[in-house]
Amino acid sequence: MTLLVFIVSLLGSMALGVPVAFALIFCGVMLMSFMGMFNTQIIAQNMLIGADTFTLLAIPFFILAGELMNAGGLSKRIIEFAITCVGHIRGGLGLVAIIAAVIMASISGSAAADTAALAAILIPMMAKAGYNVPRSAGLIAAGGVIAPVIPPSMAFIIFGVAANVSISQLFMAGIVPGMMMGLALVVTWLIVARNDNVETLPRTGWAERGRASGRAVWALGMPVIILGGIKMGVVTPTEAAVIAAFYALFVGVFVYRELKISDLPRVLIAAGRTTSAIMFLVCAALVSAWLITAANIPNEIIGYIEPLIDSPRVLMLVIMLLIMVVGTALDLTPTILILTPVLMPIVAKAGIDPVYFGVMFIMNCCIGLLTPPVGVVLNVVSGVGRVPLGKVIRGVWPFLIAQVLVILLLVAFPSLVIVPAKWFY
């Protein structure tokens, strides 16, 4: 009965248009009332505990690093570098979008920010060269969702805090799956765009490639510093986030000189708004998470799926389908915060590696960023690239299917995540 109260109160309030954070608090209130333990101090205390976590300091700094990266010209240099490498190949601008998406993912960890930067620069170029615009927009959207998988990832930070899993291990475990997502997009793009009659960019000489590499070296150095520091144990993810923000500020102001001191208030306000929304969600989710445990909801769910506990791969497939369905209606962060406290006890009971599950969970949540009706990344591409949303949805399907196939492959072969993760870590 508590499970029914949880589902009805949460989904009912969201169906009425209540913001997700307030819906989570309302869900907690309803559970407390049903169990006869209503106490406003419990709500306040759990919200404070939700915010009072050192690890969560990484979120505002990685968000700030992403804003500084886009404002300071780092994104533009990465795209220019990719163009000199593969822009002359037939369908080369699509490959540029994928390569730039993977590189930028290893810097900012924000799907929306990376997608906006790519769409603003590449969609006009691809339209001018004769590429199919809806398909190009779909490719850029699908490339943007690699950002939460390749470290540094804010999604991994939120999942790690909610599930009590090592964030450093999640970061290292996300490298290979993120690269596989990029490779799947390359193969799909070469197939669907093989017959397009498009203009190719002139081949750049080695001298120009060298100059482009020199201009981009500062931008390309950021992921090396972040991942290298975490890998060697020199910095924690939180400390790496601070370094990333300072590095992006230094490069934007003193190296590329595209970031003016007068731009800083705007950048800081944008980062502050995003941070406040995420942190309020985290605080509200801790109320529900505490009550989910107190109401013994995970054990109630385990009772329903007991036959699947002994078949981890089948269980993972069922969980992935559940997350995929939920992700069509919820954004990335609420999906993590709502489902993590419910699913982690089930995963532990089945003996599934929590780091592996975390990577699969986040990859599946990223699919939700590409599916209507919410589809945050779809809306970003539509708005920034000035492409009607319906056309973006039609263009993204081949790449969405490719990403789903990657997830199914990793469900069938968990060692593709677990073995490289152990090596990297």
DSSP string spanning 313-344? HHHHHHHHHHHHHHHTTS-HHHHHHHHHHHHH
Q: At what angle do helices 354-368 and 415-424 cross, to 10 degrees?
A: 110
* Helix intervals (H) in 87-174: 92-105, 111-128, 133-144, 154-163, 167-173
Q: At what angle do helices 354-368 and 175-192 cross, to 10 degrees?
A: 40
Under DSSP, is residue 235 helix (H, G, I), strand (E, B) or coil? Answer: coil
Under DSSP, is residue 91 helix (H, G, I), strand (E, B) or coil? Answer: coil
Q: What is the pLDDT of residue 189?
A: 93
| Contact criterion met (CB below 8 Å) for 280 and 272 | no
* Helix intervals (H) in 129-236: 133-144, 154-163, 167-173, 175-192, 206-231
Number of C-beta neighbours around residue 415 at 10 A = 11
The candidate with the shortest Cα–Cα distance to 151, out of 79, 213, 244, is: 244
Amino acid at 330: L
Residue 62: CB partners within 8 Å, gap ≥ 6? 108, 109, 110, 152, 154, 157, 241, 244, 245
Peptide bond into 152 cis (omega under 30): yes
CA 255 from chain centre, in angstroms, equals 29
The secondary structure of the chain in percent helix, strand, coil, rounded to multiples of 5, reads 80, 0, 20
| Contact criterion met (CB below 8 Å) for 1 and 14 | no
- Pairwise CA distance, residues 409 & 87, whole Å: 30
- Pairwise CA distance, residues 401 & 389, whole Å: 18
Residue 323: CB partners within 8 Å, gap ≥ 6? 335, 339, 361, 364, 365, 368
| Contact criterion met (CB below 8 Å) for 424 and 167 | no
Q: What is the pLDDT of residue 69?
A: 82
| Contact criterion met (CB below 8 Å) for 395 and 378 | no
**Residue 381 tokens, joined:** 């591409």
| Contact criterion met (CB below 8 Å) for 283 and 103 | no
- Pairwise CA distance, residues 286 & 418, whole Å: 29
Amino acid at 362: I
- Pairwise CA distance, residues 355 & 165, whole Å: 7
Amino acid at 383: G
- Pairwise CA distance, residues 137 & 118, whole Å: 10
pLDDT in tens for each of the 425 residues of the chain?
676 777 788 778 877 878 877 888 888 888 788 777 777 777 777 777 767 777 778 888 888 888 888 788 887 888 888 888 887 787 788 898 999 889 888 877 778 878 888 888 888 888 888 888 999 999 999 999 998 999 888 889 989 988 889 888 999 899 999 999 999 999 999 998 877 777 777 777 777 778 877 888 888 888 888 878 877 778 888 888 888 889 889 988 888 888 888 888 998 998 888 888 888 887 877 777 777 777 776 667 767 776 777 788 888 998 898 888 888 777 788 888 888 888 888 888 888 999 999 999 999 988 888 887 667 888 888 888 888 888 998 999 999 999 999 999 999 999 999 888 887 76
Residue 256: CB partners within 8 Å, gap ≥ 6? 72, 73, 74, 77, 218
H or E segment and range at residue 281: helix 264-294
Work out the end-to-end distance of the chain between its first and last CA atoms, rounded to an integer number of angstroms: 43
Amino acid at 423: W
Under DSSP, is residue 308 helix (H, G, I), strand (E, B) or coil? Answer: helix
Q: What is the pLDDT of residue 50?
A: 65
Q: What is the pLDDT of residue 181?
A: 95
Q: What is the pLDDT of residue 228?
A: 81
Residue 75: CB partners within 8 Å, gap ≥ 6? 69, 100, 104, 114, 117, 118, 121, 219
| Contact criterion met (CB below 8 Å) for 101 and 114 | yes
